[in-house]
Amino acid sequence: MPVAQVQLSSPFTSLPRGGVLVETSVGYVQFGAPPETIKDTMMLPRSAPQIFVLPNHFFHVEKGISVAELEFPIYYNHFLRQKKTYIVCTREQRDQLLIVLKESVFGPEIIDLRSEYIDGENTEGFPNMVAEVEHFRGNRQLDDLVKFVIFRDDRVQINNVAISKLGNGNFELRDQDWDQATEIPGTVDFNIIYDAGTRLPHTYNPPLLGITCLGPSHGFDPEENTSGFLLWINHQGLMVDPPVNSTEWLRQSNVNPKSINSIILTHCHADHDAGTFQKILEEGKITIYSTETVMHSFVRKYHGLTKIPVKELFSLFDFVPVVIGRIYIINGAEFRFSYALHSIPSLSFEFFFQDQSFIYSSDHLNDPERFKELLDLGVLTESRYRDLLDFPWHHKIIYHEAGIPPLHTRIDYLSTLPIDVQKRITLYHIAKKDMPPDSHMTLARFGIENTLYPETSQPKHEAEYRMLEALANVDIFRDFPISKAREFLSIVEHASYERGSKIIEKNSPGDNFFIILSGNVRVEGMDREDDSESDSKRFGSYEYFGEASLINDQPRGADVFAETEVQALTIEKSKFLNFIKGSGLNQKFLTLNEIRKTGSWETLAKSRFFRATTSSQRTQLELIMKLLKLRAGDLMIRQGLTFDHAYIIKKGAVHVLNHGRLIEELGPGDFCGEIFKLQKNAAATYDFKATSNLDVFAIERQDLVAYITENPGVYMRLNYVYGR
């Protein structure tokens, strides 16, 4: 929604992207600041707020974002209005936010790149990064940009405006000059604002080579997402600086999360890293490529936001520390990385795949005249100066940012390049209104329907590669030895199904096992032990179905329909049974079949803790769940003692108690246990006591710890604080 559509209302205005705005005698006061709310306010009559009140909790775990994203309001107020930003918060919140702002505004406190270049300081192009960062910083200190206003006895006073923290968790704002009193919610909602574009009628089929724009513009453009893109290489996705809510938009665009397995994080400005944490929490562990300098800055920033220990944050993903001068093979392409010229350490990269080549500038001041000035000032070393001058314009595909100097490349400089170079440039980080008319360059266009598909030659063994990729992505086969891959290739067949067709008919003989390559299927009519109706289940890419009747040697137990066009791999019954023989999968499939008869899937689908999980994550969880019956009065977990099981309630009620005092009542779908305590084998903080006869799904500690290790988003959601 464009900023111009924001209408002020009384007593407060709920902003389109989230947070609350109150107009007072001292200007606008904003409570909470989800990402990009600057786009909601900067065109209002009194411009963007200078005063921000931090919410009680400023990290939204379910969405994986900060709701106190003040980086861009601070930039806007300081650089464009020459004003300070006032932040109203507690002392503890100030200490948290200082960590975040120091990393994002000024970059890492200590920078030593010697281990990040293949030959250390002797590497051609080795920069004096400290001098570069200090040059762009100027003489600014954080105190020049912000002023913290600390709650004392739950109250602050700004001129004639008083802001108080209420006992119910809300805030009260009193304005003596305007004779008004307003109660403001203490929690902040976050709304997703974007146009999803043309939704595909079927699941997106990742190409051999493609580039999907996740956002073409900068942090102050109300009409477009901030810049980021998705590289499709060898049918696998690699996100580059995903903007906030990229994961949500991709799901709405029928892109399966499993088809995106990694991220390149170039730097830690909010318009480049806000979507990274969301992807980390989406489904399964991803791999992040960055330098140690950038990665540690990112982790320190999110430690400040979440209060999760640094070591725990690093455990949520696989980190590949890149070294300048080395080659990295990502999804079959050769990648090389460099440091761009920016206000904080920022990575650029190039890659080669088949007969195509690609360069991304990242945020970068690309201007030979400025390079010479910085060389004369001693900011650039001679080696760094030569390296910056030698930008690889020869690449077939050039993705270059453009923006306002001195931190970005002037569009008029790029317009002086040879026409044949301009024709190969796609511009990022620039608003549509700033694009020169009749330019030979192309402005990036957001949307899955605008994905670019550069022509490239087919690699050897592409069909086999896709089959092995499917095998690697199916959770139950992940630990199979490599010798099994040869057998898999010899027994698998390819099948296609039209949208709406019936793939399996209930009560028919079981003859094949299915792995979905692309598309979605719907399972209906599965029998339940309690005779209640079963909700339909949906499966997508790299998920499987049809195993139950093969293992049990029984007729099919459900109907399966193709919700979209479906491409699948199939294995005939006898070959499938021989393939899994001796692997332990027989027992896993039997366990899964039995637990699903108890309504496990439906319990997870309706749970506030697990409803956001994917079908693959639910299947993994079902494999470690066991149905138990408990009696009213049973103490499931005892305060002060370690515990070996956690529970998910199917039927009944449980009280969470602290020394006998009721903290919270839990019901169907709720999780019983403290995941952090369970993970560390530490003593429980609370009693969990059955207040009625219970049906619960029990999960052993070691099984749940292994599960959350592979599913960091579920881990974060289970870090629920009872009674909060």
pLDDT tens track for 283-331: 788 999 999 999 999 999 999 988 888 988 998 999 999 999 999 999 9
Same domain, 430 and 535: no
Same domain, 443 and 469: no
Q: Which residue has the higher pLDDT, 486 or 502?
A: 502
Q: What is the pLDDT of residue 248?
A: 84
Q: What is the pLDDT of residue 170?
A: 95
Write the CB contacts of 106 (distance below 8 Å, at least 6 apart in sequence).
133, 137, 140, 142, 344
Same domain, 135 and 113: yes
Residue 289 domain boundaries: 209-450
CA distance 33 to 379: 36
Q: Does pLDDT of 126 surpass 70?
A: yes
Same domain, 172 and 93: yes
Same domain, 157 and 244: no
Please choose, from the candidates 201, 200, 231, the residue with its C-alpha nearest in 3D space to the C-alpha of residue 213: 231
Q: Does pLDDT of 407 surpass 50?
A: yes
Going by pLDDT thresholds of 50, 70 and 90, the confidence category of residue 85 is very high
Cross-strand pairs, 361? none
Q: Does pLDDT of 724 surpass 70?
A: no
Q: Residues 720, 609: contact at Cβ < 8 Å?
A: yes
Same domain, 400 and 505: no
Which residue carries 């976050």 as its tokens?
190
Q: Residues 228, 214: contact at Cβ < 8 Å?
A: yes
| Helix-strand-coil split of the chain, %, nearest 5 | 30, 25, 45
The per-residue pLDDT for range 11-24, each reduced to its tens digit, is 899 999 899 999 99
Going by pLDDT thresholds of 50, 70 and 90, the confidence category of residue 195 is low
Q: What is the pLDDT of residue 409?
A: 96
Q: Residues 646, 678: contact at Cβ < 8 Å?
A: yes
Going by pLDDT thresholds of 50, 70 and 90, the confidence category of residue 141 is very high
Angle at 190 between CA 175 and CA 76, to 5 degrees: 65
Q: Please indicate, yes or no, if residue 611 is contained in any of the structural domains.
A: no
CA distance 11 to 51: 17
Same domain, 163 and 48: yes
- For residue 557, which phi and psi values (nearest 5 degrees)? -95, 0
Same domain, 563 and 643: no
Q: pTM above 0.85?
A: yes
Going by pLDDT thresholds of 50, 70 and 90, the confidence category of residue 123 is very high
Mean pLDDT of 369-392: 96
Domain boundary among 151, 184, 217: 184
% of the chain exceeding 90 in pLDDT: 66
Query: How buried is residue 164: exposed, middle or buried, by Cβ count under 10 Å (0-12/13-18/19+)?
Result: middle
Q: What is the pLDDT of residue 199?
A: 60
Q: Specify the number of domains making up the chain.
A: 4
Q: Residues 708, 676: contact at Cβ < 8 Å?
A: no
Going by pLDDT thresholds of 50, 70 and 90, the confidence category of residue 3 is very low
Same domain, 37 and 124: yes
SS3 645: strand
CATH number, domain at 391? 3.60.15.10
Average pLDDT of the chain, as a whole number: 91
360 token code pair = 């991304």
Same domain, 627 and 552: no
Q: Does pLDDT of 387 surpass 60?
A: yes
Please choose, from the candidates 74, 54, 60, the residue with its C-alpha nearest in 3D space to the C-alpha of residue 149: 54
CA distance 567 to 446: 27
The per-residue pLDDT for range 536-558, each reduced to its tens digit, is 788 888 889 998 889 888 899 89
DSSP 652: S
The per-residue pLDDT for range 43-55, each reduced to its tens digit, is 899 999 999 999 9
Going by pLDDT thresholds of 50, 70 and 90, the confidence category of residue 4 is very low
Same domain, 49 and 89: yes
Least confident span in 221-225, 425-429, 647-651: 221-225
Q: Residues 412, 422: contact at Cβ < 8 Å?
A: no
332-337 own/partner pairs: CB under 8 Å, 24+ apart: 332/233, 332/234, 332/459, 332/465, 333/233, 333/234, 335/289, 337/289, 337/291
The per-residue pLDDT for range 63-78, each reduced to its tens digit, is 788 889 999 999 999 9
Same domain, 478 and 360: no
CATH number, domain at 662? 2.60.120.10
Q: Does pLDDT of 175 surpass 60?
A: yes
Q: Which residue has the higher pLDDT, 590 or 300?
A: 300
